[in-house]
Structure 1
């Protein structure tokens, strides 16, 4: 059911949501290029800076399942205003952070706002526009999702090299101020008279499991806590996730519908997403550091070098749907997953003798293959859902995307530490880091390629009738 609104609200609401989407995607990509410079200023090993990335991703993953219920309970305008305010305040706190620990805490605050921006904005659009207008509106809103990654790495490199890393967060403040005003003026206050019941027990168990497992894996990799405590956290996290599974099997309205896992395409798509993104989710974090720490690029050069990746992804968006419809999900995902793994592993061939044009071609091809992978996986996972499972299935996919990418960042950092043979408090020279980066890319590529075994479980007909590219995603 669509809401009756004045013409100005219907006209400018897509712009408000697009602005929020731009804020989130820009922030996600602008940080990676700045991490080595931030590490120097904070007195940290650059290989430890992944915690600033993981903290944001994990916070987003934890809050996505509750975003719809919160919007129904407090209203879309109220929650959207709080989301922008928290995102902006978190950005300010990041800029003022004198240490990595305080930066991580500020990123959590920023992540609370970022987790609510896109889901609440999408929900408002869904309720305002009729079905026949929904697709073109979503396509318009998705444009900033492509512009943000295009500008982010370059802008981050330029700011950290010529001004200060603090400005990668401070630039969010004027954008946030405009967003608050625009939201107050054009975001409708939509809410349900009686919000649907929310599975708080399931949510707490699921969130607790995610947090404990993430802390355990990060603790094992960084050795910031004892091995015994890390193993205890790992066991406790596994127990919490098992408790959630048992709870969901008996609940009449679980956090994520158990019926989702009776849909073969969804089941295979979710599991395949986890393993494929462990590899591909690490590359946006790994590559800017590789260019700076391994090859000696300046931050601005590293940012500019990342542009072909985004351009390749944009080009593939126009071809993905036709390719999937012609070849089918099974063939595309098996072949492309293997190509993705090989492409990531082939970064081990890049060294100081590689020309800028060869690097640009390499990154452009990677962007094309990576984008096709995400588009095919998302369309496969969501394509066979009906109106009863669509909301829960989309929410779980969003959680899995964030979680697996954060685990990919954590695992790539662990590989770097192991292969470089350095501790978290000792900076290794480029002569040591270059072969460590090469070995890490080989390991990450192997992880991504393993997902092809999962997609091989698809039958030829599964998902083939509904091939379509996602119009509102981050890839």
Structure 2
């Protein structure tokens, strides 16, 4: 029978795969959905942004909710809420119905991601956490890649309704497995709920995430986008002031005192910002610039997901051999190089070569995600795990929104600089270079971690301790021998 160290990560990964895939699968199906419910694809983009808005608002409440009602219960309920939203999307007859259903999906997704990670760190011993996180990071890599081609395939050969209905059997299976195999762990002394903090943080994160998400997509006038970002920033500043005065903030930034968590959040934000733009830029370049169909471009970009899967069996060994700091620093630079290489793709570049580069790049990106997700909890105390998972989930959500915004802004800036009115393949190269450079800057923050960061998790600590014990034993032996020789010399002198 499969061990808990393998089964629980797969249960969490299945639910997160459903959420990650659903958030991108809709992109290629918008025209068909819009035609069916009698609206335009541009108007229906509100469905995407409303989902991101819901995520930003409800993620801060996930930590307290898990402590109060138990991570297993909240995780199962989150899957159920996501299923309800999925059914609502499939049955929608108007734009309003569809947007409301997407908001309900966002509520479920906001709880699934951080609480799923909390289930792992509370259920798996630290020694097995690297391997568990390696499997849990698969959905974040595969979902955005497989979503567009799957959405195009289902819409073309079946009906767009099945994009959402396929979540139902996956969801039921996830709930069953979670209730059977995940322990009902919850806090014995849940903290007081910070309602004012939730409102301030929710408005702040929603304004920033929503503003960044629509920036560059020509959905709203720039004045409204600027207002959203300003309101969001002001609200977050007010929240930071409020958080210093409360004992149980919904977003506990005091945890940034831990070097490993600080590096995972700041460095991870920059790394994900660059890498997060890839699923947005690459399909657009291949479809608009190279003339490929959504399904064809999706099959090419799927190479990065294959590379990610190939890394899973090696992540633990690599991190144990070289340590978190060395792996994360060097690998951030290597991953950024593979991201920058995408700027060299042209319409004449063989698809086989593109697929190979994406496959190898996916290997290194997946290794980095695994290391970031794992080392974040290396120093966090058990009582602080729920706060830490909430904080990392917020940073991850903002980084993805920012990555898409910067990618879109870079492409539009290139068009203006070149004096072009229509998008072409040549407009994407500078964007890849910009996001690759941003991603590479994360290496500096990873290098600031202690040399033995996460040693207990990586397994290097045991080796080091054994080595130190051997050295100590050798030193003690040498000291005893020297003392013995000194005693013998003294005795000889006395006898002489």
Q: How does 1:283-362 map to 2 (within 5 A)?
A: 283-362=278-357
Q: Secondary structure at the match of 1:439?
A: helix
2:263 is matched with which residue: 259, 264, 268?
Answer: 268
Structure 1 pair 87–341 and aligned structure 2 pair: CA distance change class (3 A)? same
CA contact 2:63–2:114 (8 Å) conserved in 1: yes
Give the Å deviation of 1:401: 1.2
Give the Å deviation of 1:130: 8.6
Give the Å deviation of 1:280: 0.6
Q: Work out the number of aligned pairs and report it.
A: 451
Distance, in Å, in 2 between the alignment partners of 1:176 and 1:375 is 24
CA root-mean-square deviation: 4.1
Give the Å deviation of 1:121: 5.6
2:101 is matched with which residue: 99, 106, 119?
Answer: 106
Q: Secondary structure at the match of 1:408?
A: helix
Q: Secondary structure at the match of 2:60?
A: helix
Distance, in Å, in 2 between the alignment partners of 1:403 and 1:297 is 30
Q: Secondary structure at the match of 2:458?
A: coil
Distance, in Å, in 2 between the alignment partners of 1:141 and 1:329 is 17
Distance, in Å, in 2 between the alignment partners of 1:296 and 1:316 is 31
Does residue 210 (structure 1) correspond to residue 202 (structure 2)? The answer is no
What is aligned with 1:5?
A: none
What is aligned with 2:436?
A: 445
Structure 1 pair 453–254 and aligned structure 2 pair: CA distance change class (3 A)? same
TM (norm. structure 2) is 0.75
CA contact 1:278–1:408 (8 Å) conserved in 2: yes
Structure 1 pair 82–247 and aligned structure 2 pair: CA distance change class (3 A)? same
User: Which segment drifts farther, 155-164 or 233-242?
Assistant: 155-164
Does residue 162 (structure 1) correspond to residue 157 (structure 2)? The answer is yes
What is aligned with 2:27?
A: 35
Give the Å deviation of 1:343: 1.5
Distance, in Å, in 2 between the alignment partners of 1:225 and 1:299 is 26
CA contact 1:22–1:148 (8 Å) conserved in 2: no
Distance, in Å, in 2 between the alignment partners of 1:62 and 1:188 is 28
What is aligned with 2:18?
A: 26
Distance, in Å, in 1 between the alignment partners of 2:137 and 2:227 is 44
Give the Å deviation of 1:362: 1.0
2:362 is matched with which residue: 356, 359, 367?
Answer: 367
Structure 1 pair 193–460 and aligned structure 2 pair: CA distance change class (3 A)? closer
CA contact 2:92–2:98 (8 Å) conserved in 1: yes
Q: How does 1:1-12 map to 2 (within 5 A)?
A: none
Structure 1 pair 116–228 and aligned structure 2 pair: CA distance change class (3 A)? closer
Does residue 461 (structure 1) correspond to residue 451 (structure 2)? The answer is yes
What is aligned with 1:435?
A: 426
**Residue deviations 1:187-210 (CA, integer Å, cap 9, x gap):** 887766864322222222212111
Structure 1 pair 29–369 and aligned structure 2 pair: CA distance change class (3 A)? same
Structure 1 pair 269–148 and aligned structure 2 pair: CA distance change class (3 A)? closer
Structure 1 pair 347–86 and aligned structure 2 pair: CA distance change class (3 A)? same
Structure 1 pair 107–446 and aligned structure 2 pair: CA distance change class (3 A)? farther
Distance, in Å, in 1 between the alignment partners of 2:32 and 2:370 is 37
Task: Give structure 1 stretches of 5+ with no counterpart.
Answer: 1-9, 423-427, 470-475
**Residue deviations 1:285-335 (CA, integer Å, cap 9, x gap):** 332333333322233323332332122112223333433344444443333
Give the Å deviation of 1:370: 0.9
Give the Å deviation of 1:147: 10
Distance, in Å, in 2 between the alignment partners of 1:451 and 1:48 is 36
Distance, in Å, in 2 between the alignment partners of 1:421 and 1:97 is 39
Q: How does 1:137-286 map to 2 (within 5 A)?
A: 142=136, 145=139, 149=143, 152=147, 154-177=149-172, 195-218=190-213, 220-222=215-217, 224-286=219-281
CA contact 1:280–1:448 (8 Å) conserved in 2: yes
Structure 1 pair 307–375 and aligned structure 2 pair: CA distance change class (3 A)? same
Structure 1 pair 227–65 and aligned structure 2 pair: CA distance change class (3 A)? closer
Give the Å deviation of 1:27: 4.2
Distance, in Å, in 1 between the alignment partners of 2:100 and 2:66 is 25
TM (norm. structure 1) is 0.78
Structure 1 pair 405–45 and aligned structure 2 pair: CA distance change class (3 A)? farther
1:400 is matched with which residue: 371, 376, 395?
Answer: 395
